[in-house]
Amino acid sequence: MEPYGPEERALFESDATALYEEIATQGQLPASDPRIAEGGPARRAFDLLLDLGLVTKDPETDAYAPVDPSSVQSRVVAPLGQEGAKLLEESSQWAKAFGSLSHAWRRSPLTSDRGPFAHIHDEAIGPFIAALVSEAEEELLTAQPQTGRDAQTLASAALRDTAALERGLKMRTLYQHSARRSAITHKYVTAVTARGAEVRTLDEFFNRMIVVDRRVAVIPGQEDLRAAIAIREPSVVAYLVDIFDRTWERARPFSNRDTSMMKDIAAEQRAMTIRMLIEGHADPVSAKRLGVSPRTYAGYVADLKEEYEAETRFQLGYTMGIQGVSGNESGADGDGEDDSAS
């Protein structure tokens, strides 16, 4: 029996089922019924019931009687299941075949001939990174500034990264302190740390980066993230990994919610806000470096103006200058620390 497809199922659900129920209720359907005559409104539905074996003709009464559907179901459903199993197996075999090609490509001299740097643009960036991660064998290092990661992006990253972790990969991820205020980031961190990943945060600004197996690094090519650069030059990748490791040592565990550590984080963000003001950066630039929105950054500045009893930024800078405040003090105090971390 050839498997039935969606067209036959649609006809079965819309018309044939109703016709079968009518035949079952009445006990039979006369062969002379005009609805099932050639060109009749129920002819297609009737032919399907007949082909399925759900009705059979009684030669003595010249009428069609219903057949128990449980005796027919297995003949219809079983071939579909067998066909589905064959397609899944074929899909798996194709995936394995392409997997061996990917390994051969990575080790081919042609890869080196194309140069140590490759530029990826726009919609090709996501699939490229997903393919890299899916082929990873040992370790993922990721640096993710808080800005630019929406719920959909994080959800896709969570699926991709948890799959990698479940294959046994090690993973370390860096965020800015501001990520601690993001509910969607908390969900992502919960998902990956439950599978063995490590996540830390720090106050410094850094750019987006992914390093796969210390073999390939992907960094942004432009400010708007519409281009990326894949780096395969071993010395450059090693340099980027060294920067990551040094930054990692200064970062604080994301899962640590100890009160004293949260106060330290608040103090670090406050100090960085002061440095941004003293260096004269525009608000959008300062907000980006802190990993917050311009509105949140303006709130930080307003807190400092209130703390130092200044009405303008000029007065704030003058007052901090007189008091020797530079934003580089260790253990800086400030009554607003807890507020800046909440």
User: Which of the given ranges, 17-31, 57-71, 97-111, 283-297, has the highest pLDDT on average?
Assistant: 17-31
Q: Which long-range contacts (CB under 8 A, 24 or more apart) does 53-58 make?
A: 54/16, 54/20, 55/20, 55/23, 55/29, 57/31, 58/28
pLDDT tens-digit series, residues 40-97: 999 999 999 998 889 998 888 889 999 888 878 877 887 777 888 888 888 877 777 7
Q: Which CATH superfamily is domain 118-253 in?
A: Endonuclease Chain A (3.30.870.10)
Residues 6+ apart with CB under 8 A from 130: 160
User: Which of the given ranges, 97-101, 132-136, 199-203, 238-242, has the highest pLDDT on average?
Assistant: 238-242
pLDDT level of residue 331 (50, 70, 90 thresholds): very low
Whether the per-residue pLDDT at 231 is higher than 90: the answer is: yes
How many CA atoms within 13 Å lie on the side-chain side of 130? 11
What is the average pLDDT value for the chain, to the nearest integer?
A: 83
Q: What is the pLDDT of residue 18?
A: 92
**Range list for CATH 1.10.10 in the chain:** 1-107, 264-341
pLDDT level of residue 333 (50, 70, 90 thresholds): very low
Q: What is the pLDDT of residue 293?
A: 79
pLDDT tens-digit series, residues 181-211: 888 888 899 999 999 999 999 887 778 899 9
Whether the per-residue pLDDT at 338 is higher than 50: the answer is: no
**Overall average pLDDT of the 281-303 stretch:** 84
123 or 214, which is more confident? 214
Of the chain, the percentage scoring pLDDT greater than 70 comes to: 87
Please state which CATH class domain 1-107 belongs to: mainly alpha
Q: What is the pTM of this model?
A: 0.55
264-341: in CATH 1.10.10: yes
**Range list for CATH 3.30.870.10 in the chain:** 118-253
Instruction: Say how far apart CA 244 and CA 315 lie, in whole Å.
Output: 38
